[in-house]
Amino acid sequence: MTTPLAGLRRRWPALLAAAGIAAAAIAGALLAQPAALAGTESRTRAVLASLASAGIAAAVIIPLTARRRYSPRGIAVAATAMALVLGLAVYIAGASIQRQCTVQYDGRAVLIGTELTGLGQHYRQVYPQQPIEELLRDASGKTETVWTRQSIARCRVTMSATYFLWLPLLIVSLVGAVLAVPAGKLSVPAAPASPVMSSAPPVLRYDVFISYRHGGADADVARQLLDALEADGYTVAIDERDFVASASFLLEIERCIRESRHTLAIVSARYLESGNCEEEAIVTKVLDMSERRRRLIPLIIQQVAMPAWLFNLVGIDCTKQDGLVDPIDKLKATLGKPLFGNREPGSGVRGPG
């Protein structure tokens, strides 16, 4: 069950991104505009600054947040550093532009240009020591008399486009810094105390457990092996006879594997056709790789591609018509002497109960 706190933890990067974008939009709208730009266009300029600020923040924050799950924390650190440096550079550049494009006239800031008109150039040549503001006073504050219209327009556009740019970059750097902070330690609930389980090995009841696919040649081979092994005194477990009727089929497979010195897997296409048969899951659960090499014996009755859980096991290949050793003799040699010595045929130990 997902708790509200867990849901919030999963969504917090998206919430942080939304908060950063909203903060950039609000700050862009509320940031004081250069005094030289004040006028009838101030409201429109504030809206445009708000939208541009939000767009710049979104263009960086959204990809940064989306890639957080797949990228190392170094990307967030690098983005934070770049945004901070770029924001500082833009702030300094904006201040420099404002100094170049404004002068104080009659107690207020006035927008000017960067290129002088013919009159302005003549004044500069005739009076090189006098500040250009004196000519502006002589022109009754008409800036277009001193500076060209094109340069004044460029100053207006440049100042309008740069005075607020440091704000979204600052917000991007703050969001990136938060994303770069490593998560806390994983909180895992303490497991309830459980009684100490005995590590004693299971009692061996069988020499071999036969694992096979019911029906067809698989079952015929299993019964032939059962008769041949028990005739020589081996104690054999097989599901039809030794599984407890009231028990779980899968649990009985596991029990017989644990209580047998060896597990004999009769390998055929039918045995492996499920791709993930129950025997595979239980054998790999009970026997690790070293135990499988020692205790698991594949008896191959049909040429098949061996699956991973039987890989690297030599097994006994019954498909060779001219084999040097009889498969049953090789199986008995692999099993060694019977666990309980020689017994009468058919006297295999039954399962518990």
Model confidence band, residue 99 (pLDDT cutoffs 50, 70, 90): confident
Helical ranges in the chain per DSSP H = 4-30, 42-66, 73-101, 118-126, 133-138, 143-146, 149-162, 166-180, 216-231, 239-242, 249-258, 269-272, 278-286, 289-295, 327-335
Q: Tokens 């010195």 identify what position?
A: 261
- What does the block give as tokens for 20? 């950063």
Cα 295 to Cα 261: distance, rounded to the nearest angstrom: 6
Model confidence band, residue 346 (pLDDT cutoffs 50, 70, 90): very low
- What does the block give as tokens for 180? 């770069």
More confident residue, 6 or 28: 28
| Residues written for the chain | 353
- Of 30-39, 251-260, 326-335, which range is least confident? 30-39
Model confidence band, residue 221 (pLDDT cutoffs 50, 70, 90): very high
Burial degree of 148 (CB within 10 A; 0-12, 13-18, 19+): middle
98 pLDDT above the threshold of 50: yes
| Burial call 305-325: b when 16+ CB within 10 Å, e when fewer | eeeebbeeeebbebeeeeeee
| Mean pLDDT (whole number) for 289-302 | 84
The predicted structure's pLDDT at residue 2: 46
The predicted structure's pLDDT at residue 10: 63
Taking the CA of residue 292 as centre, how many other CA atoms within 13 Å lie in the half-sphere pointing to its CB? 21
- Of 22-36, 78-92, 147-161, 263-277, which range is least confident? 263-277
300 pLDDT above the threshold of 50: yes
Architecture in CATH of 206-335: 3-Layer(aba) Sandwich (3.40)
103 pLDDT above the threshold of 70: yes
Cα 113 to Cα 97: distance, rounded to the nearest angstrom: 11
Sort strands 316-317 and 296-300 into parallel, antiparallel or unpaired.
Answer: parallel
The answer to whether 45 and 141 are in contact (CB under 8 A) is no
Model-wide pTM > 0.85: no
- Rounded to a whole number of angstroms, the CA Rg of the chain reads 43
More confident residue, 10 or 176: 176
Backbone dihedral angles phi then psi of residue 240, each to the nearest 5 degrees: -60, -30
250 pLDDT above the threshold of 80: yes
| Mean pLDDT (whole number) for 272-293 | 70
The predicted structure's pLDDT at residue 184: 55
Percent of the chain residues topping a pLDDT of 90? 11
| Highest-confidence segment of 213-227, 267-281, 310-324 | 213-227
Cα 22 to Cα 61: distance, rounded to the nearest angstrom: 12
pLDDT digits (tens, 9 = 90+) for 114-162: 899 998 888 888 888 888 788 888 888 888 988 899 998 998 888 888 8
Longest dimension (CA), the chain: 132
The predicted structure's pLDDT at residue 293: 80
Burial degree of 33 (CB within 10 A; 0-12, 13-18, 19+): middle
Cα 297 to Cα 126: distance, rounded to the nearest angstrom: 109
Cα 226 to Cα 237: distance, rounded to the nearest angstrom: 8
The predicted structure's pLDDT at residue 235: 94
Question: Within 10 A of 279 (CB to CB), how many other CB atoms are there?
Answer: 19
Mean pLDDT (the chain) is 80
| Mean pLDDT (whole number) for 209-227 | 90
270 pLDDT above the threshold of 70: yes
The predicted structure's pLDDT at residue 262: 92
Model confidence band, residue 202 (pLDDT cutoffs 50, 70, 90): confident
7 pLDDT above the threshold of 50: yes
Residue 103, strand partner residues: 110
| Burial call 4-28: b when 16+ CB within 10 Å, e when fewer | eeeeeeeeebeebbeebbebbbebb
Domain extent listing, the chain: 8-113+148-180, 206-335
The predicted structure's pLDDT at residue 279: 67
The predicted structure's pLDDT at residue 11: 73
